[in-house]
Amino acid sequence: MSAKRIANFKYVLRQRGAALLILLVILIVGIAAVLLNSLTSSSAKTARQAMTAAALAQAKEALIGFALSYGDTHSGQVHGYLPCPDTAGGNPEGSAEPSCGSQDVSIIGRLPWATLDLSTLRDGDGECLWYAVSGTYKDNPKTGLMNWDTNGQLQAYASDGSLLTPADNQVVAVILAPGAPQSGQDRTGTTAPVCGGNYTAANYLDSNNDMVHNINNAAIATGQFIQGASGSNVNDQLIFITRQDIWNAIQKRTDFQNTLKQLTQQVALCLANYGNNNGGSSYWPNKSLPWPAPVAFPAGSDYSINSNYNDSVNLFAGRVPYDVGTSTATMSNAYGTLMAACTGISPSTWTNLAPWWNNWKDHLFYALGEEYKPVSTYHNTTPCGQCLSINGAGNYAAVVMFANSRLGSLATPQVRISNTISTSPISTKRGDINNYLEDNNASNFPGANGNENYKTAIAGSTFNDVLYCIRANTSTPLTVIPCP
């Protein structure tokens, strides 16, 4: 081969090598661009998810704080209530509605960020948060009984359709991040000028309308909410608050248990005051106390209604009565209700505790000594005769018992609420004394005749009743002490 041909051949090789090098560089740059774009997209998605999670967590914390301090910020109320959502924007945007729907009916709307003293919390896609509240926990109109046995009416599901909470600890509130709009969702409008858009839930919250789950996050009537998932037709992200979340926080208050003890003591003082004010020349001294009310009310009765707590003749152990007209008719006494006797003890104290009675009265029980039952003649209480004892000792005219938080560690766990999504103060479980009191405090109730022995002990996993005793006195007024 001639030198010229060899030179040409080398030149061609050099050109081809350069071209291949250029192609390789282009390929590397292209792959790098794809990887960089993928990393950038992944980082952006992670950042959006983190922003959403932070907003949801902040909203949950603020709502629990609202319930925890409700009695402090709302005079004459107890703790536990959650705000109504912002459903129309008629008030300043972000404000809870003053009243939302009917009693015990759940409702959905935008998170009332202004009422919660928050900024406009937004998810990673820039949307303001939405919020659903159980009808049993919204603050107006209020449910009949607000205490640690009040269950939620909402249910939360994982993206695979599995239920996230047990029936006795249902959801009381759900906070939702709508995410990017789905097909058919119209988020235009001016009714929410700060957050943007409108108040139509279906334009923000999605429906998993497959035949397996069929949950619509915008349909509050079902009370069901499902977590969104990648590739799903639901991209809503949610966080929820359960009954126990609320009450775990409230029970950490240093004043909470003291208030419940004070309520129990005050109710015992009300009963003592009733006995100390039986009058009339032919009746005195007559320190008769009223009959208790039954533990179980007739089927369908509402345990939140005061007038259902009626004293019952010849009943020596039951609930603390509200209406004592039957007992009063036997004696000369001006009190037709126990609450009238309460105001005679310490009006200011009872004014503060009356809301606690209204919401916790289903936890108060009362045993009466036979010697102090209602009578219409001179009442000789020397010696005591048939009275009550505590841990096998003492003579007491009556005992008032507060049923503390229900115990799940007993051989038969205590259950006070119906395990259904429809929760109300009407529950057959409230009529079973064993769901409230322990040991002989419960076993004494059937067939009590006024000379029973009751129990006090250090609170633990199998006993936590709180007892106050009304001392049997003849020459001095009836008085109240913590049962020894």
Q: What is the pLDDT of residues 184-198, one digit of tens each?
A: 999 999 999 999 999
What pLDDT score was predicted for residue 416? Answer: 86
Tokens of 244: 């126990």
Measured CA to CA, the distance from residue 277 to residue 283 in angstroms comes to: 11
Measured CA to CA, the distance from residue 49 to residue 177 in angstroms comes to: 10
Give 41 or 321, the one with higher predicted confidence: 321
Tokens of 219: 């349909």
Give 381 or 73, the one with higher predicted confidence: 73
Measured CA to CA, the distance from residue 253 to residue 68 in angstroms comes to: 8
* Distance linking the first and last C-alpha atoms of the chain: 121
Strands laid side by side in the 107-110 sheet: 107-110, 130-133, 171-177, 237-242
Q: What are the distances in angstroms from CA 411 to CA 414, 434, 462?
A: 9, 11, 9
Measured CA to CA, the distance from residue 150 to residue 84 in angstroms comes to: 17
CA angle centred on 295, ends 291 and 301, rounded to 5°: 110
Across the range 144-154, mean pLDDT stands at 94
Residue spans of beta strands (DSSP E) within 37-87: none
> Average pLDDT, whole number, for the chain?
88
Contact 387, 300 (CB under 8 A): no
The helices-and-strands tally (H runs, E runs) of the chain is 8, 15
Contact 252, 81 (CB under 8 A): no
pLDDT grade, residue 12 (50/70/90)?
Answer: very low
Give 27 or 202, the one with higher predicted confidence: 202
Count how many Cα atoms sit within 13 Å of the Cα of residue 424 in the half-sphere of its side chain. Answer: 9
DSSP state of 201: G
Contact 363, 295 (CB under 8 A): no
- The burial of 142, by beta-carbon neighbours within 10 Å (0-12 exposed, 13-18 middle, 19 or more buried), is given as buried
**Residue 10 scores a pLDDT above 90:** no
Give 426 or 263, the one with higher predicted confidence: 263
What pLDDT score was predicted for residue 456? Answer: 98
Q: What is the pLDDT of residues 94-143, one digit of tens each?
A: 999 999 999 999 999 999 999 999 999 999 999 999 999 999 999 999 99
- CA 230, chain centre distance (Å): 32
What pLDDT score was predicted for residue 9? Answer: 44
Relative to beta strand 155-157, strand 224-226 is parallel
pLDDT grade, residue 411 (50/70/90)?
Answer: very high
What pLDDT score was predicted for residue 40? Answer: 62
Residue spans of beta strands (DSSP E) within 388-459: 388-390, 393-402, 453-454
Across the range 453-482, mean pLDDT stands at 93
Measured CA to CA, the distance from residue 330 to residue 346 in angstroms comes to: 26
Q: What is the pLDDT of residues 383-395, one digit of tens each?
A: 687 899 999 999 9
DSSP state of 128: B
Give the other-Cβ count within 10 Å of 470's Cβ: 27
What pLDDT score was predicted for residue 27? Answer: 52
Measured CA to CA, the distance from residue 275 to residue 218 in angstroms comes to: 56
**Residue 35 scores a pLDDT above 50:** no
This prediction has a pTM of 0.88
Contact 348, 279 (CB under 8 A): no
List the domain boundaries for the chain.
51-245, 256-482
What pLDDT score was predicted for residue 33? Answer: 47
What pLDDT score was predicted for residue 2? Answer: 60
What pLDDT score was predicted for residue 209? Answer: 76
pLDDT grade, residue 321 (50/70/90)?
Answer: very high
**Residue 90 scores a pLDDT above 80:** no
